[in-house]
Structure 1
Amino acid sequence: MSFPSFYDPKQVGKLYVPNTSAAMQAGNAIGVRASSEDTTRTVLLLIDEQVDFIHEDGALSVPGAVDDTRRIIEWIFSNLDGITDIVASLDSHVPIQIFSPAWWVDADGNHPSPYTVVTSEEVHQGKWQPLYEVDWSKEYVERLEENAKKQLMIWPYHTLIGTPGHTITPALYEAIVYHSAARQSQPNMVIKGTIPKTEHYSIFEPEVKSDDLQGGGLNRDLLEDLASYDRIYVTGQAKSHCVLESVTSMMRYFEDRPEVIQKIHLIEDATSSVVSPGIDFEALAVEAYDQFAEHGLQRTKTSQPV
């Protein structure tokens, strides 16, 4: 299949100013039906397809993400008339958040290195001390371990609002606006991760909820909007974290609605796992997706049409 003239597969994973005008003009000229005319409605959920995760020099680069992105771009082009709408999330952070090195110090005033695990026991023993929201921070690590069955991971500074790393990778952004023009469909950009005192892997909910804060609870409106489609395709970065937690939220929320779970298709060859010393995130992710598949999650690849 031929792709739009503005698309250069060699530019995937490169940082440049997207040629939005060319992509929109190409989309307007292609002559496919408007998304409002679809009798079978399909949504593509793109999770955190951002420079810092995808580009090889990104702050939290995911190995394999450039090839993943090339595949999903070409899948969008190949299935243009089968994708009704696109929803894209953006992991959106500020410098001082509970999972960043700046939040914590040891007894000597040193900040933790990225990929340090901070446990509730270490916090109570004083190995790690919060500089911000002291009482909440102690409560947070406890609730994270008790309720989410996780420990706090310190991450490199990434997807900081206002930096190039926060943007959707340019080649994919062009594909999104090309689809928007061709199908007369406004993309839905979902911002998550701005609350300093909690992690926010899932696009639907933070790790520890703060219902008194905007975005601090479960995004039921987005979940129900997705449920209104006939097919839900999901992919993005990273397979082991934000994609996995987003799928987990969907599986949990729709637990009593198997007809919705049957609609969810994970595009497996367009997502990859974080690589970190000492933790096999890929194995953990595969185990979780295998369990979800037993409860109705569909798995597909970009070689398969909508």
Structure 2
Amino acid sequence: MTPTLYSPSDVAKLYTPRSQFVTDGMKNRTKLTAFEDKRKVALLTVDGQWDFVSTTGELPVPGATEDMQRLINFIYRNVDQITSNYMSMDDHPPFAIFFPTWWRNRNGEAPGNKDYVAISYADIKSGAWKPIIDPLWSTDYVKKLETQAKKPLMIWPFHCLQGTPGQSLVAALSEAIMYHSAARGSQPTRISKGTNPRTEHYGIFKAEIEDPKDVSTQLNTAVLDAIAKHDLIYVAGEAKSHCVLETMSQLVGYFGRTQPETIKKIRFLMDCTSSVKHPSIDFEAIANTELDKMVQKGVVLVNSTDPIR
């Protein structure tokens, strides 16, 4: 049941989530609590935050507003079937290895905030780019990123900075999660990522390169094992080409090593996610190629209007 207070246009608005949705959820509480569900369904929403979803955000993903509208409708339509809500949130300090503050070129200039500069190990060795913070770690990090993660370091616009409105969940999504929580007696699980300035943290469950000084960058097996206890695992969020794709890769990789049959539980909500647009890199094609590989391992691609099964 969709609350009368909700409008799809709310997704594009920045405001304080209304506690009325908790009250409405309590009034419309289903007969069975989530704890009593015979078929347990998890919804994993990756980074449904203002800076990614809003067209006025710091790192807007084209199509994300509509993705969130469909996802919110999915939540309300299936309140009585969704057991657990998991949501990740980028949570960045202003100085980070993937922000312009960390780097200078040979002229002493920082990367432009919206230039999407890619820095390679060769760039550092040639002096084209120089880390001004933690230079030994930074140089080794970029080298490991190329050899282990098979990618250069991307310098992103400042986004999801700690304590800013852009870092918050889209208010309408937050309201839907609160409504579900009250209606089903189910506590949502919030997963913070990206607080460590020395590494990137695209996927929910581990950083790109683990920092030995910070356990939060290491594989979060506790959350993975909790999610695995569900009968179905739905995944949505932003951006398909980056944080969502890496989250999927971590899910499939971990389950493949520990419990391969669990991969068949994963349902990827194709109409509730979009890719970053880049002038010279087709991130959408890259994401779809990787998803096709996951489908071969058992992942099921679905739309938000499909029945839960």
TM-score by length of 2: 0.97
**2-structure distance, mates of 1:298, 1:211:** 35
The question of whether the paired residues in 1 share the 8 Å contact of 2:198 and 2:211 is answered with: no
Offset at residue 6 of structure 1 (A): 1.5
How many residues are treated as equivalent by the alignment? 304
Cα deviations by residue, 1:48-89 (Å, 9 ceiling, x for unpaired): 000000000000000000000000000100000000010000
Cα deviations by residue, 1:258-299 (Å, 9 ceiling, x for unpaired): 211000110010000001111110000000001110111111
Where structure 2 has 5 or more consecutive residues not aligned to the other structure, the ranges are none
The question of whether the paired residues in 2 share the 8 Å contact of 1:79 and 1:305 is answered with: no
Candidates 251, 275, 278, aligned match of 1:276: 278
Residue 250 (str. 1) matches residue 251 (str. 2): yes
Q: Please, what is the CA RMSD of the aligned residues?
A: 0.9
**2-structure distance, mates of 1:228, 1:31:** 24
How does 1:102-113 map onto structure 2 within 5 Å?
102-113=101-112
Offset at residue 8 of structure 1 (A): 1.1
**1-structure distance, mates of 2:42, 2:305:** 18
Candidates 298, 302, 305, aligned match of 2:304: 302
Cα deviations by residue, 1:158-185 (Å, 9 ceiling, x for unpaired): 0001000000000010000000000011
**Matched residue, 1:230:** 231
**2-structure distance, mates of 1:31, 1:162:** 33
**2-structure distance, mates of 1:252, 1:75:** 27
**1-structure distance, mates of 2:249, 2:106:** 37
**1-structure distance, mates of 2:307, 2:13:** 27
**1-structure distance, mates of 2:108, 2:29:** 62
**2-structure distance, mates of 1:270, 1:211:** 35
Runs of 4+ with >4 A deviation? none
**Matched residue, 1:23:** 21
Q: Amino acid of the residue matched to residue 184 of structure 2?
A: R
**Matched residue, 1:157:** 158
How does 1:128-277 map onto structure 2 within 5 Å?
128-256=129-257, 257-277=259-279
**1-structure distance, mates of 2:270, 2:212:** 33
Where structure 1 has 5 or more consecutive residues not aligned to the other structure, the ranges are none
DSSP-derived class of the 1:88 partner:
strand
How does 1:18-97 map onto structure 2 within 5 Å?
18-20=17-19, 22-32=20-30, 33-97=32-96
DSSP-derived class of the 1:189 partner:
strand
Offset at residue 107 of structure 1 (A): 1.3
Q: Amino acid of the residue matched to residue 28 of structure 2?
A: I
DSSP-derived class of the 1:224 partner:
helix
Q: Amino acid of the residue matched to residue 116 of structure 1?
A: V
- Per mean C-alpha deviation after superposition, the further-off stretch among 104-113 and 158-167 is 104-113
% identity of equivalent residues = 43
TM-score by length of 1: 0.98
**2-structure distance, mates of 1:83, 1:220:** 22
DSSP-derived class of the 1:19 partner:
coil
Q: Amino acid of the residue matched to residue 269 of structure 2?
A: I
Offset at residue 211 of structure 1 (A): 3.2
DSSP-derived class of the 2:173 partner:
helix
**2-structure distance, mates of 1:125, 1:10:** 50
DSSP-derived class of the 1:272 partner:
coil
The question of whether the paired residues in 1 share the 8 Å contact of 2:29 and 2:182 is answered with: no
DSSP-derived class of the 1:96 partner:
coil
Offset at residue 212 of structure 1 (A): 2.7
**2-structure distance, mates of 1:62, 1:88:** 18
Offset at residue 30 of structure 1 (A): 0.8
DSSP-derived class of the 1:262 partner:
helix
DSSP-derived class of the 2:279 partner:
coil
The question of whether the paired residues in 1 share the 8 Å contact of 2:75 and 2:176 is answered with: yes
